[in-house]
Amino acid sequence: MIIIDVKDTESIDRALKRYKRKHRRIGLMKELRNRKYYTKKSVERRNEILDARYRLEKYGQG
């Protein structure tokens, strides 16, 4: 559960912006999407390897 303390002097827009930033940073939606379906460990590992290979090809080795 995400908790945002709103100060008396803070506007609601600013508090909402902090909430959205915190929501993105902890990756809540990404985790929910991943938990929606079960993926085997071997499939997760294969996807990690493919992602790493893609990043190496696209961005080079340094």
Tokens of 33: 């999407």
Residue count of the chain: 62
pLDDT band for position 60 (50/70/90)?
confident
**pLDDT the model gives residue 62:** 60
Alpha-carbon gap, residue 2 to 43, rounded angstroms: 31
Alpha-carbon gap, residue 42 to 17, rounded angstroms: 38
pLDDT tens for 9-44 read: 989 999 999 999 998 998 888 888 989 999 999 999
In this predicted structure, the answer to whether residue 1 has a pLDDT above a threshold of 90 is no
- Provide the H-helix boundaries in the chain: 12-26, 28-36, 41-59
